[in-house]
Structure 1
Amino acid sequence: MTNKIRIDDLAEPRLTPAQEAALAYGEAQLVDLSVDAVLAAAVQASGLDDFGPDDFRERLALWLSEMNEDDERTGLGRMSMFGDCVRHAVNRLRIHDLLKRHPEIHDVPIERPVVVVGLPRSGTTHLVNLIAADKRFRSMPLWESREPVPDQRETVPPGGVDPRWDRCNKAWEAARSALPLLASMHPMDPDHVHEELALELPDFSSYHIEWAARCPGWRDYYLSHDQTPHYAYLRTVLQILQWRRPRERWVLKSPQHLEQLGPLMTTFPDATVVVTHRDPVSVIQSTATMMTYSARLHYGHTRPDWYVEYWADRIRRLLDSAVRDRDLLPVDRTVDVRFHEFMADEMGTVERIYDAAGLELTPEARAQVVAYRDDHPRGRDGQIVYDLRADFAVDPQEVRAPFRSYIERFGVREEVR
C-alpha cells in the first residue's frame, strides 16, 4: 500500500534541525553573485579559460541580478545559485575545449529522435524512463547531464565509478537530507533519465532557472528571444554525448518544448513527437506544492500564493504556445498521450509510440521496458497528497477556467474537483 504524505506546513514551515543548520551556515557566507566572480571560479575549477562566444554573459548577468535584487533570497539560496552557475560555466569551458580538439564532433548525426513533450508533472519523466529502458535508445542520465564532458584530469579505473556519478549521487543525497520529501515528488537519483534541457544551461538559457528561483524578469527575457540558437547548442552537446557513447536513436523529453515547437522541429526535423496531456489543475497544484516546499531553504518566506499564481500563468503560457504551434508537428509522427490512458495501459502507450517512430518493439526490448515498469511502481517513495483548496485557498474550477478549450480539444480528463 502506498504511503500517503500530507505536507501541512507549506505557508509556515516547521524546519528540521538540519534545515536550520543549513540556513544558518548560508547566512554566515559572503557570496559574490557577479559574472566576474562566477567565471573566475569556473576558470580556477577547470584549469581552462576559453568560454567561446561571450554573448552568454548578458544572460548570466540577468540570472544573477534577479538573485541580487531579491531581498527574500536566503544565504543558502545565494550559495546554491552561485554553485550552479559555476558548474554551468565549467561545463561550457569543457565543451568548448573538446570541440576545439575534436571538430569532427560537429558531423556526428542525431537522427530520428523520439521526443516527449508535455506539461511538467504529467508523466513525462516516467514515460521517457520507460522508453529509455530499451537499450537500443541513447538517453541521458542525470549524472551525465550535470557534467556532460568529463574532467580530463580525472581517470576512471576499469570497473570503477565515474567521478561525475559520485558527485551527482552526493548532491542527491544532500538534497534528500535537506528536503526529505523531495524524492516523493520528483526523484533525482543519478541514473534516472533527465531532460536534455540541462544541456542549454552552459549557454545560460532555457526556462530551467524558473524552477530554481523567483525570476519573472528572466521569464520575460527568455520568452522574448528566439531560442533556436540555444537549441542548436543543445544539439551540439548531444553530438558530444553520441560521439562518446553511441546508440541507434535518442529519446529526449522536456516540458519547455511545448512553447518552443518551432526551435524543436528546426533542430530535430525528423523527430517523432510524443505529446502528453493532463488536467492542468493537477499539474498546477503539484508544481506549486513542490516549489513552495523547496522554498523553505531558499527564501525567507515561502509565499504559497506566489507559486500558485506564477505557475497557473506559466502553464497557461506553455499550453497556449503548444496549441498555437500544433501545426508545426508532423501528423504521422505525433502521438498524443492522455495521462489517464497512460496510467491505465503503460505498455499500450509504449506500443503506440513505437509504431509512430517506425521501431519494432522486439521481445528483448519489451522485456526491458516491462522490467523497468515493474521495478518503478508509482508512489514507491510515498505519494504526496495535494490539496489546492487547503494549501493555497484556491478553487480548482477557477484555476481550470482558462484551460477549457484545451481540455475539450484533447479530451483531457478532469482530476481535481
Structure 2
Amino acid sequence: MASATLDIEDLCAPVLNSTQRALLDQVAGVPVDLRPTELMRQAAERTGLHDFGSDEFQPRLARYAEAVESDSGNTNLNRIILQSRIVRLLTNRLLFTDLLRRYPEIHDIEIDRPIIVVGLPRSGTTHLVNLIAADVRRRALPYWESQEPFACRGEGPDVNGTDPRFLRSIAEHESATALTPLLAAMHDRFPQAIEEEVELLDLDFASYVLEWHVRSPQWRDYYYTFDQHRHYGYLRTILKALTFLRGPRQWVLKSPQHCEQLGPLLATFPDATVAFTHRDPVAVIQSAVTMLAYGDRIRRTSIDPDTLVEYWIDRVERLLRACVRDRDLVGADASLDISFHHLNGNEMTILDRLYACNGTALPEQTRESFRSYLDSNPRGKHGQLRYDVERHFGRTPSEIRSRFDFYFSRFDVREEV
C-alpha cells in the first residue's frame, strides 16, 4: 500500500487546533525560573543528592539558561519545557556522579570498537543506526534511556519488569503526538527508537543540541570555544556507566555533531569504525527547517522562515566544511562513505562492508534480524511529507546548493531537489 502524501499548508503561518491553543493558553501565566541556583536546587530536591561533580560545568549551565531566557520568541510552554529539560539534565548529572562514587570500577570498563554513524541531520543516520541496533550483540541508546539514563535510587522495574522511566517516555511520546501529530512523518522519536548520544553529552552542557530548541547564535558561538576532547571524555565515561548497568556489548552511536568534532571523536574512540552518510544539503536543509517550523507552532510566538532557513543553511555549511576538512583523520580501513541515494535497498551490502571494517562477523541470525527490521520499517512508514523549500522559505534549491560545491566535489552526492 502506498504511503499517504502529507502537505502542511499552514507551515509558516500556523492555524492552531483547539488542543494546541488550549494548552498554550493554560500555561501562559505559569512562572518559569531559569536561575541556575534554582535549577540546581530542584535537581537536588528530586534526587536527594548534592554532588554534581566538578563545578567547572557551572559557567556553561549559566550560559545555557541565559540562551533560553534571552530568546524572546519562545512561548511560555517552550520555556517550561526547556526549564524541565535543564532540571532533568542536572538530575541525570547528580545520579551519574553518585553512581561513579559508589562503583569506581566503572572507570575500568573499555568501550571497544564502536560503530559510529556520522552525517547531517536527515541524511539517513537515524535509519542506519536503528538498523545496526537490530543486532542484539550491540549496545545502543534508546530514546527513553537518553532522557533518563540513570534511575533514581529506589526506583526500579515494576512486578512486570517494566522500567518506570520507559513508562514516562511513553506518556511523553503520546502527549507530543497528540500535540504535533505530523512530526512522526519527519522524525518519530518513540521510546524505543535509537537516539543520539549528544543527549548524554548535554549533561555536561557542552553539545550543540540547544540549537534545535532555541534561536541563539550566541550559544553556537560559545559552543565553538569548548575543548571538546574533555567533553567527549565525559561522554565516554557515561557510556562506561551505561555499559556497567546494561551491558557489556559493543556500542553503536550516531550524531550530526560529530561532523565538526572528528578530532575529539577519534581521540576518544580511537578504535571506532565510522560510517559517514552523505546527502544533498538542499534536501537536508528543507527537511530540517520544515520539521523545526512545524514544531515551532507550539514553541514560538511566531515563525520567521527567513531567519530559520538562513541559520540552518549556515549551520549545515559549517558542519560540512569541518567534515570535509577532517574526513581523512579516519583511515580508509576504519570507515565507509555511504551516499543517501545508495542506502535504501542496499543496506545488507553496506552492512557487510561496515562490519568487515569493524572486524565483526555477521552470522545468519544477525542478518535475519537486519532483514526483519527493514521489512518492518519501510521508508515513509508514517506517511510521506511534501517538502518545498522555495514555497515555504523563499529559497530556490540552486541558490542553496551554490553554497556547497566543496561538498559535492568531495563526496558522491546526488542532487535531489
In which range does the TM-score fall when normalised by the shorter chain? over 0.9
Aligned to 1:101: 102
Aligned to 1:181: 182
* Aligned-partner Cα distance in 1 for 2:202–2:313: 24
After the TM superposition, which residues 178-327 of structure 1 pair with which residues of structure 2 at under 5 Å, given as runs? Answer: 178-327=179-328
User: SS at the partner of 2:190?
Assistant: coil
Aligned to 2:346: 345
In the alignment, residue 218 of structure 1 is paired with which amino acid?
Answer: W
Which structure 2 residue ranges, 5 or more long, are not aligned? none
User: SS at the partner of 1:112?
Assistant: coil
In the alignment, residue 190 of structure 2 is paired with which amino acid?
Answer: D
After the TM superposition, which residues 32-111 of structure 1 pair with which residues of structure 2 at under 5 Å, given as runs? Answer: 32-111=33-112
* Aligned-partner Cα distance in 2 for 1:68–1:163: 31
1:409 deviation in Å?
Answer: 1.7
1:158 deviation in Å?
Answer: 4.6
Establish whether residue 161 from structure 1 lines up as the match of residue 143 from structure 2.
Answer: no
| C-alpha contact (below 8 Å) 1:274/1:334 kept by paired residues | yes
| C-alpha contact (below 8 Å) 1:274/1:335 kept by paired residues | yes
* Aligned-partner Cα distance in 2 for 1:139–1:398: 38
Q: Deviations over 1:387-413 (max 9, x none)?
A: 011111111101001111211221200
Q: Deviations over 1:331-366 (max 9, x none)?
A: 211100000000131212212211211111110000
| C-alpha contact (below 8 Å) 1:131/1:251 kept by paired residues | yes
Q: Which moved more, 1:274-283 or 1:6-15?
A: 6-15
In the alignment, residue 164 of structure 1 is paired with which amino acid?
Answer: R
In the alignment, residue 19 of structure 1 is paired with which amino acid?
Answer: Q
1:138 deviation in Å?
Answer: 0.9
Check 1:297–1:70 CA distance in 2 against 1; reply closer, same or farther (3 A cut): same
| C-alpha contact (below 8 Å) 1:118/1:277 kept by paired residues | yes
* Aligned-partner Cα distance in 2 for 1:139–1:80: 26
| C-alpha contact (below 8 Å) 1:25/1:76 kept by paired residues | no
* Aligned-partner Cα distance in 2 for 1:93–1:225: 22
* Aligned-partner Cα distance in 2 for 1:164–1:146: 9
Q: Deviations over 1:257-298 (max 9, x none)?
A: 000000100100000000000000000000010111111111
In the alignment, residue 234 of structure 1 is paired with which amino acid?
Answer: L
User: SS at the partner of 2:251?
Assistant: strand
Aligned to 1:120: 121
1:153 deviation in Å?
Answer: 2.0
Q: Which moved more, 1:337-346 or 1:153-162?
A: 153-162
Number of residue equivalences: 416
Aligned Cα root-mean-square deviation (Å): 1.0
* Aligned-partner Cα distance in 1 for 2:47–2:22: 30
1:52 deviation in Å?
Answer: 1.1
User: SS at the partner of 2:410?
Assistant: helix
* Aligned-partner Cα distance in 2 for 1:132–1:319: 26
* Aligned-partner Cα distance in 2 for 1:202–1:337: 31
Identity %: 47
In the alignment, residue 133 of structure 1 is paired with which amino acid?
Answer: A
TM-score (norm 2): 0.98
Q: Which moved more, 1:121-130 or 1:323-332?
A: 323-332
Aligned to 2:414: 413
Aligned to 2:19: 18
| C-alpha contact (below 8 Å) 1:26/1:74 kept by paired residues | no
| C-alpha contact (below 8 Å) 1:10/1:304 kept by paired residues | no
1:25 deviation in Å?
Answer: 1.9
Q: Deviations over 1:286-312 (max 9, x none)?
A: 001011111111111111111111110
| C-alpha contact (below 8 Å) 1:136/1:247 kept by paired residues | no
| C-alpha contact (below 8 Å) 1:279/1:413 kept by paired residues | yes
1:3 deviation in Å?
Answer: 0.8
| C-alpha contact (below 8 Å) 1:8/1:391 kept by paired residues | no
After the TM superposition, which residues 351-390 of structure 1 pair with which residues of structure 2 at under 5 Å, given as runs? Answer: 351-390=352-391
Q: Deviations over 1:58-91 (max 9, x none)?
A: 1111121122222221110110110000000000
